[in-house]
Amino acid sequence: MSLNSFSGLHEDILRLIAEKIDLIVDFIRVGAVCKSWRSVTLDKRHFSLFLKPLPWLMLTANDGEEIRSFFSPFENKIYRLNLPKASGCHCWGSPFGWVVTVAFDHKVHMLNPLSRASLPLPPLSAFNDRYFDAKSPGKNRMSYITKAVVAKVSSSSIAEEQFLVLIIYGGCNSLAFARPGDETWTPMLCHTKTVFDALYFNGQFYAVNSWGFVHLCDTYGLPSSQSTIFARPPPNVKGVDRFYILELQGELHLVVRVLDFGTDMPAIEFQHLLKTKLIEVYKCDFCTRKWEKLQNLGDHAIFIGSNNSFSLKASDYPGCKPSCIYFTDDHNEASGRLVGHDMGIFNMDTVEIERLYEGHDSLSRYSPPVWITPHLL
């Protein structure tokens, strides 16, 4: 069949073909066939109902280059995208198609790797505290923001859902937020410091600190948002563990990542020595605000690391392993060691860890690999 025959297909037939596609990569390929096929795929809002984009691992070893590499563990394949706006940036991923980038010049953006759309956020220079050093842009890029979380929010005053970004920043790991286009970051005056992860859930913001206490931030958009202790950590949980909060099946969950502070030299010189040895998941009872330890995740998988903590239904995504936790290295390294080696897939049924990615191009001195779920926005 000639190309002219393909281009002559009726639009209704093309839409039926496009609606049968699950993977976003195949959807992009359909749009590349010819002009008429691409015109159908431009209706992104319609096809977002059918597409099930698989999370990619954004590798950071080549973060000083314009061509950035993304690894799909479900296809065991590397994709390379031309992203000059991500060159030399510290990056944090999200399940909404956006990557938050911090550049050497202190500028902060939300970047969509597929569409290359870029939305400005307030620069780091908007902060005026003793932890920000305008004379050390490299240090600020590496360690001033320890985590950025993208949230999709809506309210009665907003006609449709919009994005905002929560950041954990400064020497005390404080919390602040901004919307694209804002000129300054709005601090959230929590009763805790050392925030480790944050989540927008059921119209509220939650933050977990480095001891496992979950705080509820009452509102957003006010100059001095407050927080209260929502839940104490599960029993027998240690302060040296790492904590993540996420939504799974409409309920609040806490993930506890137990690290081994080993003394053996790593396989590659200048790596840090921390290694994940166990991961536990707890579900919150909103009535008692107590935690129930889960033995497995059923038909779900969890993704944690230097990105939004999120879950998905494994059977909806070809190749995704149920009852597994996909984790990446999120060690915050300010002294120049390599980060990126503590990655794997933790199986809650077998309590075993398998390798996630074998390539050494996951190692970086700037930022670890991050999970990004690609979307055509």
Question: What is the pLDDT tens value at each position of the chain, 377 positions in all?
Answer: 444 555 666 666 666 666 556 566 665 666 556 666 566 555 555 445 456 778 999 988 776 788 889 998 888 888 888 899 998 888 999 999 999 999 888 899 999 998 888 999 999 888 766 566 666 666 666 678 889 999 988 755 555 568 999 999 887 888 889 999 999 998 886 666 688 999 999 888 899 998 999 998 755 444 444 567 899 999 888 766 899 999 999 999 999 999 887 666 565 656 667 789 999 999 999 999 999 999 999 999 999 998 999 999 999 888 899 999 999 988 776 556 677 678 899 999 999 999 998 777 777 766 788 999 887 66
Angle at 174 between CA 207 and CA 250, to 5 degrees: 15
- 123: amino acid identity, one letter: P
Contact by Cβ (8 Å): 240, 332:
no
User: How many whole angstroms separate alpha carbon 376 and alpha carbon 53?
Assistant: 10
Contact by Cβ (8 Å): 35, 351:
no
52: helix, strand or coil: coil
Q: How many whole angstroms from its chain centre is CA 196?
A: 13
> What dotted CATH number matches 52-372?
2.120.10
Domain residue spans of the chain? 1-50, 52-372
* Model pLDDT, residue 369: 86
Q: How many residues does the chain have?
A: 377
Provide the whole-model pTM: 0.85
* Model pLDDT, residue 79: 87
* Model pLDDT, residue 201: 92
Which residues on adjacent β-strands are paired with residue 310?
303
Q: How many whole angstroms from its chain centre is CA 28?
A: 22
CA separation, residue 290 to residues 205, 224, 231, 232, 239 (Å): 18, 28, 7, 8, 18
**Main-chain phi, psi angles of 114, to 5 degrees:** -85, -50
* Model pLDDT, residue 312: 93
Contact by Cβ (8 Å): 327, 279:
yes
Task: Walk across the sheet containing 300-304 and list its strands.
Answer: 310-313, 300-304, 324-327, 344-347, 352-354
- If one counts every other C-beta atom within 10 angstroms of the C-beta of residue 289, the result is 14
User: How many whole angstroms separate alpha carbon 72 and alpha carbon 76?
Assistant: 6
- Give the DSSP per-residue string, 298-360: TTEEEEESSB--EEEEGGGSTTPPTTEEEE-------SS-BB----EEEETTTTEEE-S---G
* Model pLDDT, residue 151: 93
Give the residue ranges of DSSP H helices in the chain: 3-7, 11-19, 24-31, 35-41, 44-47, 137-143
